[in-house]
């Protein structure tokens, strides 16, 4: 076995291992120092895979999330509200675009990620599997669902992966508009006629618990949490963010003159937080498995839009090929670099 | 509501924008590609913005949008046509945005109560027209299938285009000149898209000027039923 060739292979393996260890050390130091990891930097495969999964599912949530609200565009009760809602749904499509672009910096392709969504191999937020039954649901989504999303996403503005963090800065600015608009919509209903007030209360009653579930499973049942926290993809645990959200919502519900559907909700002087009742995790896992009220409908509408649009995308690609010599859309993947960048190396004191 | 020449003119322009905006809003969540979700919503929002300014010139925008019945709407029959497939939506956009661009360019250059609105809107509709033109080219000169769908769409909607050039009293533009320029512009786009200019009549006996007189096609009533239902269910409520 001790041929020269085998010897060279062994040496190359040793060197590759040594390189990997060195790269990993540089990466770990960058994360520890709160540096941003950029697309051309070396990163552990699992970090890359975890980010692609999270960003893709975030992007999917934006585009599936258009459906429950778009359900009310054609029935919005005033032109002002209709304009606000249309702008919001448009923003969500834009957020989807930012997030797919950010995921593509990691070597994924939008087409492939969409395929994973359409075939159920990647998920989207459980919240969008609930139906919008009245106009007030549009307000409840703005106030509670966007509120929960912001609570989740503001810490992501400091996420260790640069493109994701920067996408979040832009997304959060727009989301906070949506959240205020939702609150204002509910306020108008709450201060309106008795029927409008009842409509607002009913919507909050139906959206409260699903909104709390948006923060994900409890910390001791969250598969990805520990690693994501170590890599500084996540900055706070699910339960921490959920507590923070409840603390924000309770006084807002009071000023809306609406109640939250939880008999256990009360201020805990000792902890400095609100205590709240148990979440129905059976429902959460069922919805996540595809058995929620609208899972089937949401996915089939998405697939239908995609399938029925295939001839349009093919036409655009054929036209581009004829006229620009181009091959069509979405075939350029980001370069995936294998070594640490100069910046990372410099940061860790290497030449 | 008394419909004077002035309100008649305001409603004609305002209802066109309102109704087409609504139709485009129906696309949300159904577009063939994410970029088109953004683009179609963007155009719908521009049109809704125009509608709100125009309707406010005639009265309360919400009363006018939500409490008039079908026979009181003055929009063109073209803009109320159902979305159909993407080619139908694009053909409708091509026909209408080319018209609106020519109309607003003249109004922006003139001196009427529409001047200010037209000066702002002409920039928006230039974008809409460019969008429609680019898609007409891609679909017409794309694949055999897209060519066929675009051809069918252009033909199906052709008979609604004559109505655009029926003079609206109180809108002071050169209607005949506009029609000639429109035919030239649209004809040029269609030829570049390897499509033919449809040959049928631009307006049959039934469609001539009918939308402007409150005579609409059947799908319009259903569209209004959906649009107005919630508002009408809560009389006097504010939102």
Residue of A nearest to B65 (CA): A79
**Percentage of chain B exceeding pLDDT 70:** 97
Diameter of chain A by CA atoms? 89
User: What is the C-alpha separation between A213 and A208, in angstroms, rounded?
Assistant: 9
> Which pLDDT band, with edges at 50, 70 and 90, does B193 fall under?
very high
d(CA B231, nearest CA chain A) in Å: 5
Rg (C-alpha) for chain A, rounded Å, is 23
Question: Of B133, B142, B28, B149, which is closest to residue B84 (Cα–Cα)?
Answer: B149
Q: Residue B173 in contact with residue B111, Cβ under 8 Å?
A: no
Residue of B nearest to A298 (CA): B29
pLDDT of residue B4: 85
Q: Look over chain B and give the mean of its residue pLDDT values, rounded to a whole number.
A: 95
B6 in reach of chain A (CB within 8 A): no
> Which pLDDT band, with edges at 50, 70 and 90, does A338 fall under?
very low
Q: Angle at which helices B34-58 and A79-104 pack, to 10 degrees?
A: 160
> Which pLDDT band, with edges at 50, 70 and 90, does A223 fall under?
confident
Q: What is the mean pLDDT of residues A99-112?
A: 97
Mutate to test the interface with B, among A94, A315, A322 (most CBs of B within 10 A): A315
Q: CB–CB of A319 and B142 under 8 A?
A: yes
d(CA B40, nearest CA chain A) in Å: 9
CA distance readout (Å), A281 to A126, A224, A261, A278, A288: 12, 17, 17, 9, 10
Question: Any idea which of A108-112, B19-23, B205-209 has the lowest mean pLDDT?
Answer: B205-209
B28 in reach of chain A (CB within 8 A): yes
pLDDT of residue A12: 66
d(CA B223, nearest CA chain A) in Å: 9
User: What is the C-alpha separation between B15 and A122, in angstroms, rounded?
Assistant: 43
pLDDT of residue B208: 53
Residue of B nearest to A186 (CA): B239
B35 in reach of chain A (CB within 8 A): yes
Query: Which residues are CB-neighbours of A192 under 8 A, at least 6 positions away?
Result: B237, B238, B239
CA distance readout (Å), A188 to A175, A193, A199, B97: 20, 9, 11, 36
- Chain A residues inside the 8 Å CB shell of B230: 75-77, 135
- Chain B residues inside the 8 Å CB shell of A317: 142
Q: CB–CB of B65 and A195 under 8 A?
A: no
pLDDT digits (tens, 9 = 90+) for A258-316: 999 999 999 999 999 999 999 999 999 999 999 999 999 999 999 999 999 999 999 99
Whole-model pTM: value is 0.91
Q: CB–CB of B145 and A78 under 8 A?
A: no
> Which pLDDT band, with edges at 50, 70 and 90, does A226 fall under?
confident
* A274 beta partners: A267
B33 in reach of chain A (CB within 8 A): yes
pLDDT of residue A14: 72
pLDDT of residue B81: 97
The full set of domains in chain B, from first to last, is 7-233 (1.20.1260.10)
Minimum-distance CB partner of B238 among A89, A192, A322: A192
- Chain A residues inside the 8 Å CB shell of B142: 314-319
- Chain A residues inside the 8 Å CB shell of B39: none
> Which pLDDT band, with edges at 50, 70 and 90, does B200 fall under?
confident
- Chain B residues inside the 8 Å CB shell of A63: 34, 37
d(CA A191, nearest CA chain B) in Å: 9
pLDDT of residue A343: 41
pLDDT of residue B5: 82
pLDDT of residue A293: 97
d(CA A350, nearest CA chain B) in Å: 43
Alpha helices for chain A (secondary structure H): 4-32, 45-64, 66-70, 79-104, 110-118, 136-140, 146-153, 162-190, 194-213, 225-230, 238-256, 281-286, 295-308, 310-324, 342-347
pLDDT digits (tens, 9 = 90+) for A53-74: 999 999 999 999 999 999 999 9
| CA angle in degrees (0–180, nearest 5) for B216-B217-B220 | 85
pLDDT digits (tens, 9 = 90+) for A132-158: 999 999 999 999 999 999 999 999 999
């Amino acid at each position: 076995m001790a041929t020269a060739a085998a010897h060279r292979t062994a040496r190359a393996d040793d060197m590759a291992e040594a390189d990997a260890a060195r790269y990993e050390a540089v990466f770990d130091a960058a994360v520890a120092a709160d540096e941003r990891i950029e697309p051309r930097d070396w990163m552990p495969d699992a970090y890359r895979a975890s980010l692609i999964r999270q960003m893709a599912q975030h992007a999917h949530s934006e585009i599936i999330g258009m459906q429950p609200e778009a359900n009310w565009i054609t029935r919005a009760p005033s032109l002002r509200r209709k304009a606000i809602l249309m702008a919001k749904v448009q923003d969500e499509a834009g957020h989807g675009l930012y997030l797919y672009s950010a995921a593509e910096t990691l070597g994924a392709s939008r087409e492939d990620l969409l395929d994973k969504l359409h075939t159920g191999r990647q998920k989207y937020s459980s919240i969008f599997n609930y139906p919008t039954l009245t106009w007030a649901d549009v307000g409840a989504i703005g106030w509670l669902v966007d509120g929960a999303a912001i609570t989740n996403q503001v810490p992501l503005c400091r996420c260790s992966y640069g493109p994701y963090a920067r996408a979040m800065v832009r997304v959060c600015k727009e989301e906070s508009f949506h959240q205020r608009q939702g609150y204002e919509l509910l306020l108008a209903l709450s201060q309106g006629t008795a029927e409008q007030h009842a409509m607002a209360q009913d919507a909050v009653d139906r959206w409260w618990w699903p909104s709390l579930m948006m923060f994900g499973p409890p910390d001791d049942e969250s598969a990805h949490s520990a690693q994501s926290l170590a890599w500084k993809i996540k900055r706070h645990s699910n339960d921490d963010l959920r507590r923070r959200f409840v603390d924000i919502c309770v006084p807002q519900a009071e000023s809306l003159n609406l109640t939250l559907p939880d008999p256990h909700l009360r201020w805990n002087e000792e902890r400095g937080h609100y205590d709240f009742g148990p979440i129905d995790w059976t429902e959460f896992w069922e919805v996540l498995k595809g058995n929620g009220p609208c899972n089937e409908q949401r996915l089939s509408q998405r697939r239908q839009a995609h399938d029925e649009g295939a001839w349009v995308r093919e036409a655009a690609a054929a036209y581009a090929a004829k006229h620009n010599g181009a091959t069509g859309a979405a075939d350029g993947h980001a370069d995936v670099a294998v070594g640490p960048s100069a910046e990372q190396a410099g940061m860790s004191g290497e030449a | 509501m008394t419909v004077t020449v002035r309100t008649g003119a305001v409603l004609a322009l305002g209802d066109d924008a309102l109704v087409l905006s609504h139709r485009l809003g129906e696309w949300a969540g159904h577009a063939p590609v994410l970029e088109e979700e953004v683009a179609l919503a963007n155009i719908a929002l521009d049109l809704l913005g125009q509608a709100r300014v125009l309707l406010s010139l005639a009265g309360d925008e919400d009363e006018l949008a939500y409490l008039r019945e079908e026979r009181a709407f003055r929009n063109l029959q073209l803009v109320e046509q159902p979305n159909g497939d993407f080619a139908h939506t694009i053909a409708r956009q091509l026909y209408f945005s080319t018209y609106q661009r020519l109309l607003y360019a003249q109004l922006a250059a003139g001196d009427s109560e529409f001047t200010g609105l037209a000066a702002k809107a002409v920039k928006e509709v230039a974008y809409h027209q460019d969008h429609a033109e680019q898609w007409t080219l891609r679909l017409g000169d794309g694949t055999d299938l897209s060519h066929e769908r675009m051809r069918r769409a252009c033909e199906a909607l052709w008979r609604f285009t004559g109505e655009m050039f029926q003079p609206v009293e109180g809108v002071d533009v050169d209607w005949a000149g506009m029609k000639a320029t429109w035919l030239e512009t649209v004809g040029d786009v269609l030829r570049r898209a390897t499509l033919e200019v449809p040959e049928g009549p631009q307006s049959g006996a039934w469609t001539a000027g009918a939308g402007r007189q409150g005579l609409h096609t059947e799908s319009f009533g259903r569209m209004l039923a959906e649009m107005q239902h919630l508002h009408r269910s809560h009389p006097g409520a504010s939102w």
